[in-house]
Amino acid sequence: MKAKNTTKKDLNIQSPQNKSANTKKSIFSRLKHIIENANAWGVFVMGSTFVLMFGSAYLAYILQNDFTQLHLERRSTLIGLIFMVVAAAFFVFKLSFFIYTFIRFLKYKAIPSVSDEELPSVTVIVPAYNEGKQVWATLKSLAESDFPAHKVQLLAIDDGSKDDTWNWMLEAKKELGDRVSICQQPKNMGKRHALYRGFKEGTGEIFVTVDSDSIVDKDTLRNLVSPFIVDENCGAVAGNIRVLNNKKEILPKMLDVSFALSFEFVRSSESTLNSVLCTPGALAAYRATAVFGCLEEWINQTFMGQPSDIGEDRAMTNMILKQGYHVLFQRNAFAYTNVPEKYKGLYKMFIRWGRSNVRENIQMSKYVFTNFRKGPKAGTRLLFFSQFSRIVLCYPFVLFMLVFVFTHPLLFLSSTFLSILVLSTFPVIFYAKRYTLIESFWAYSYSVLYTFGLFWITPYAIATASRRGWLTRELPQK
């Protein structure tokens, strides 16, 4: 699942700051580079995506009369009429919510870094399990940060790894000396318990958590913690996550485009409401007083009588929001993380996220409509309603889709691919504007994959929300 020992040199990533310099290259030199480095399978996948989308658009044009007849048939029955009314209402809501999100996004501005003197002391916690040499690269990138060294406590915790992770931590300790502290859990207890130990041993005013398969930019730490100085009510900050291992495999390329929209668009808009709903485990910062205000509740959290061993990042965010703190996003604080390269690893990761989403939306429902903090709360409640509606309407949507597939397969395929062409154009434009045009087209392929290959994740996650297990932490079988 993981790309081992990935460093910044291996990245196929272009930052917005470097984009203007690259635009000076001639179109022909770019095309030459693309052709020379093209992956045959990638060309086939992207080419097939466009053939399916445009072919379906033409098919939808041919089948106009059939679509008209289908709508007339639905209107003639009570069930069909109810469905059309509900579908129309949901469409209007989602369109209105998108416009609202876009307006909030336009108002977002990342908080600039404060001076060295103003920067608070930080404890950076890196929990690791079966990461091998990658943990060494993670610790080295953190040690190279331009954050005042005397204000940083770097703490790496081996959570009972079965591989050579501890040896690479020892190697990092040998190279970095007193700049890093390392420790071992007596046995594998889970990421939440590794973080708990870090919170207990940390001495910083701010806790920063970084996944052991991630690396950061030099200015990431200072940009990440600056909001705590500017906003005294800030309890947590989410970092900007990009994909680290996106040079060769197709899935990471797709996920990089998806991550850009999820973080730089969605979380930017959430940040203007002081209500980012999830601070990612790959890079997040928490005010120590906010953490200690919910630490015991967090480590002892249960769901349906079972200890919670997943979704520790979303749970911590939820509990900090509940205390009345602001949760913000810093677009200028980058971390690059490894993602699954195979379908099996991808769906397991999404199942884990889906189960966490179900659990934490239930928890959020218990306080979001109370007077949980000072100031406006309508935006936070709207964010919750949008998320919760996906869960509530999940099964009816899947049932409708299956019925549509079996009764009108051609209409289903043509309308679905046409919808992908239309709806995925925004992520394409967004990524192209922020990064590169060619890579942005993976948004179309990702939408096809999600629609046909991952649609079952949410209903399955709802049905199995009480199950425990990380699903993707073990060593790959050889």
Most confident of 78-82, 369-373, 467-471: 369-373
Which of 101, 456, 41, 444 shows the shortest CA–CA distance to 258?
Answer: 444
What average pLDDT score do residues 163-191 get? 94
pLDDT at 35: 57
pLDDT at 75: 85
pLDDT at 79: 83
Does residue 15 register a pLDDT over 60?
no
Which of 148, 109, 87, 126 shows the shortest CA–CA distance to 397?
Answer: 87
pLDDT at 74: 85
Give SS3 for 372.
Answer: coil
d(CA 138, CA 393): 40
- State the DSSP H helix or E strand holding residue 254, giving kind and residue range, or none if neither: helix 250-260
Does residue 201 register a pLDDT over 80?
yes
Q: Where are the alpha helices (DSSP H) in 375-456?
A: 378-392, 394-407, 409-423, 425-434, 437-440, 442-453
- Contact call for residues 82 and 400 (beta carbons, < 8 A): no
pLDDT at 78: 86
Does residue 25 register a pLDDT over 80?
no
Helix, strand, coil percent content, the chain, rounded in steps of 5: 60, 10, 30
Angle at 294 between CA 291 and CA 296, to 5 degrees: 110
Terminal alpha carbon distance of the chain: 12
Pairwise pLDDT comparison (235 vs 10), residue with the higher score: 235
Query: Using alpha carbons only, how large is the chain's radius of gyration in Å?
Result: 23
- Contact call for residues 191 and 159 (beta carbons, < 8 A): yes
Cβ neighbors of 370 (< 8 A, separation 6 or more) are: none
Tokens 């079996």: give the residue. 406
Which of 343, 293, 298 shows the shortest CA–CA distance to 316?
Answer: 298
pLDDT at 54: 95
pLDDT band with cut points at 50, 70 and 90 for residue 437: very high
- Contact call for residues 337 and 241 (beta carbons, < 8 A): yes
Does residue 101 register a pLDDT over 80?
yes
pLDDT at 73: 86
pLDDT at 41: 85
Q: What is the pLDDT of residues 178-194, one digit of tens each?
A: 999 999 999 999 999 99
Does residue 475 register a pLDDT over 80?
no
Does residue 478 register a pLDDT over 50?
no
DSSP 134-161: HHHHHHHHHHT-SS-GGGEEEEEEE-S-
pLDDT band with cut points at 50, 70 and 90 for residue 45: very high
Token digits of residue 168: 């690479």
What average pLDDT score do residues 205-223 get? 97
**Beta strands 180-184 and 206-210: pairing type?**
unpaired
- Contact call for residues 207 and 101 (beta carbons, < 8 A): no
Percent of the chain with pLDDT over 70: 91
**Which residues in 93-188 belong to E strands, given as ranges?**
122-128, 152-158, 180-184
Does residue 28 register a pLDDT over 80?
no
- Contact call for residues 445 and 417 (beta carbons, < 8 A): no
Pairwise pLDDT comparison (79 vs 369), residue with the higher score: 369
Q: What is the pLDDT of residues 301-344, one digit of tens each?
A: 999 989 998 999 999 999 999 999 999 999 999 999 999 999 99
pLDDT at 14: 54
Does residue 169 register a pLDDT over 70?
yes
Q: What is the pLDDT of residues 375-399, one digit of tens each?
A: 999 999 999 999 999 999 999 889 9
pLDDT band with cut points at 50, 70 and 90 for residue 155: very high
pLDDT band with cut points at 50, 70 and 90 for residue 20: very low
Q: How many CA atoms lie within 13 A of 425 on its CB side?
A: 8
Tokens 């899935």: give the residue. 251
